[in-house]
Chain A
Amino acid sequence: MTYFDHAATGFPKSEAVLRAMTQAHRTLGNPGRSGHPPARMAEELVFSCRCRLAELFGSTPENVVLTPSATFALNLAIKGLYLPGSEVITSDLEHNAVVRPLHALRLAQEITMKQFHVDLASDEKTVENFSLCAGKHAAMAVVTHASNVCGRLLPLEKMRESVGREDFLLIADCSQTAGHIPIDIRKLGADVICIPGHKGLYGPMGTGALICNPDKELRFRTVIEGGSGTQSILTGMPESLPERLEAGTPNVCGIAGLCAAAKEFRYPREEGRLCEMLAEGLKSKRGVRIHGREDGGAYLPVVLFNLEGTDCETVAEALSAKGFAVRAGLHCAPTAHRALGTLETGGVRVSIGRGNTEEDVKRFLSAFV
């Protein structure tokens, strides 16, 4: 099977990840709870993971909150930082991990929401749309760094700069970009970035992180409360990060895998070229229509297409039968599909990642008549 579904999860995971998880399972105790060697070793491992993620994303270890997923991190960030009664803005390319928590807060009449349009052909226009949408009143923006449906990268740095207000918060969903392109949270201008551990970083599923800008002093409302290992006499959660947002026993085996993945991680070099080759090749195929890919825009290695007259799920099944793993449907992002004009049809998403070769792309293209 040739794997072209890296936007869902990076595959395969390395042997080092597997070894680290097995070792953790066999040797580690509960971190932050006890003073004996298995607990101590677990603490060192967890701290080491925080340090590596902090290094990769331009933060500090105490600002790295380890979570079960990017979705979990987004929920902690959104529900922990929104100002009751305030306006929150978001883009029309969002995943449900952003759309649904915001929708829940809107239904509870906690916030009002406004959406801005991402202009696929012009970053300048997107920045302008963002700035206008934020206006003078929006308190927070929750925005994807890149679409999981079409791969379009958003100019977050310029978008944040366009809103001069210091108290305006930016939460960036970096689910697709983490591990694909270098991210420095300070340069990005985000207050918080949310990342999965298992996609571009190739850690295990069930891992992720909420990472805070170390220059900002953020006060999070808690969403989950429970044991934190320290300051147990308090009835409330500890004030300081990361423990404030990490109630309960962490996924130590998963964190061990993520730590191993992050330590051996190198930014990819060939993905962009392979994706261009794939997109150009698909364009020349009869009946193929590519969605959401405009000249002049920056993209991650993701291509969305449909085959005229054939349902997207049927196309994905046919490709699977020929040995290609792709993902069809709405990709948990109906908002984005609506913006791209594919809400009714869905689409077939091909996403390139580690291990994919030019030969893989050629064989994929040859599967089309």
Chain B
Amino acid sequence: MERILVLTSVTYAMKAKELLQKERIPSSLTRESAIRAIRSCGYGVKLDAEDAPRAEVILSRAGIRVLGITDASARKDG
């Protein structure tokens, strides 16, 4: 199961992905429609659900605001 950490912009999403990579948490950038439920057409980083809590802490410590967390499997196209 995968989760998406929704971020404010593509720049923060790229920065988050890089930071998580350094912490050995694999992630990928996504624009899945589930993100829209949280805030408009933002960007998110998709990662393993087990890594999500630790990833959120890492990003928060780095000053990267996580707008919300959503379930990647809950997406709907449209």
Interface residues of A (CB under 8 A from B): 31-32, 34-35, 40, 43-44, 47, 50, 60-62, 228-234, 238-240, 242-243
Return A231 CB to nearest CB of chain B, in Å.
5
Residues from chain A with Cβ under 8 Å of B11 in the complex: 47, 50, 61-62, 242-243
For residue B75, CB closer than 8 A to chain A, the reply is no
Chain A residue at minimal CB-CB distance from B65: A240
Q: For the complex, what is the distance from the CA of A242 to the CA of B39, rounded to whole Å?
A: 18
Q: For the complex, what is the distance from the CA of A234 to the CA of B30, rounded to whole Å?
A: 20
User: Are A43 and B14 within 8 A (Cβ)?
Assistant: yes
Chain B residues bordering chain A, tally (CB within 8 A): 16
Return B33 CB to nearest CB of chain A, in Å.
10
Residues from chain B with Cβ under 8 Å of A43 in the complex: 10, 14, 29
**Contact for A47 among B14, B30, B31, B41, CB less than 8 A:** B14
Instruction: With a 10 A CB-CB cut-off, give which of B10, B41, B65 has the most chain A CB atoms.
Output: B10
**Contact for A240 among B9, B30, B40, B43, CB less than 8 A:** B9
Q: For the complex, what is the distance from the CA of A34 to the CA of B39, rounded to whole Å?
A: 16
Given contacts A43-B29, A47-B14, contact A232 B40 (CB under 8 A): yes
Residues from chain A with Cβ under 8 Å of B15 in the complex: 47, 60-62
User: Are B31 and A35 within 8 A (Cβ)?
Assistant: yes
Chain A residue at minimal CB-CB distance from B39: A231
Return A352 CB to nearest CB of chain B, in Å.
36
User: Are B31 and A34 within 8 A (Cβ)?
Assistant: yes
Chain A residue at minimal CB-CB distance from B28: A40
Scan residues 8-67 of chain B and give those whose CB is less than 8 A from a CB of chain A: 8-12, 14-15, 29-31, 39-43, 65
Chain B residue at minimal CB-CB distance from A36: B31
Residues from chain A with Cβ under 8 Å of B12 in the complex: 62, 240
Chain B residue at minimal CB-CB distance from A64: B11
**Contact for A230 among B8, B30, B65, CB less than 8 A:** B8
Residues from chain B with Cβ under 8 Å of A47 in the complex: 10-11, 14-15
Q: For the complex, what is the distance from the CA of A231 to the CA of B65, rounded to whole Å?
A: 14
User: Are B9 and A32 within 8 A (Cβ)?
Assistant: yes
Q: For the complex, what is the distance from the CA of A221 to the CA of B63, rounded to whole Å?
A: 22
Residues from chain A with Cβ under 8 Å of B10 in the complex: 31-32, 43, 47, 229-230, 243
Q: Please name 15 pairs of A and B residues whose Cβ atoms are closer than 8 Å in the assembled complex, sorted by A.
A: A43-B29, A44-B14, A61-B14, A228-B9, A230-B8, A230-B10, A230-B40, A230-B42, A231-B40, A231-B41, A234-B40, A240-B9, A240-B12, A242-B9, A243-B11
Residues from chain A with Cβ under 8 Å of B39 in the complex: 231, 233
- Beyond A61-B14, A62-B11, 19 additional pairs, beta carbon < 8 A: A35-B29, A35-B31, A47-B14, A50-B11, A60-B15, A61-B11, A62-B15, A229-B9, A229-B41, A230-B40, A230-B42, A231-B8, A231-B39, A232-B40, A233-B39, A233-B40, A234-B40, A238-B8, A243-B10
Return A226 CB to nearest CB of chain B, in Å.
15
Chain A residue at minimal CB-CB distance from B64: A62
Residues from chain A with Cβ under 8 Å of B43 in the complex: 32, 230
Q: For the complex, what is the distance from the CA of A209 to the CA of B14, rounded to whole Å?
A: 19
Q: For the complex, what is the distance from the CA of A229 to the CA of B30, rounded to whole Å?
A: 13
Return A211 CB to nearest CB of chain B, in Å.
14
Instruction: With a 10 A CB-CB cut-off, give which of A61, A229, A230 has the most chain B CB atoms.
Output: A230
Q: For the complex, what is the distance from the CA of A231 to the CA of B41, rounded to whole Å?
A: 6
Chain B residue at minimal CB-CB distance from A48: B14
Q: For the complex, what is the distance from the CA of A44 to the CA of B28, rounded to whole Å?
A: 12
Chain A residue at minimal CB-CB distance from B31: A35
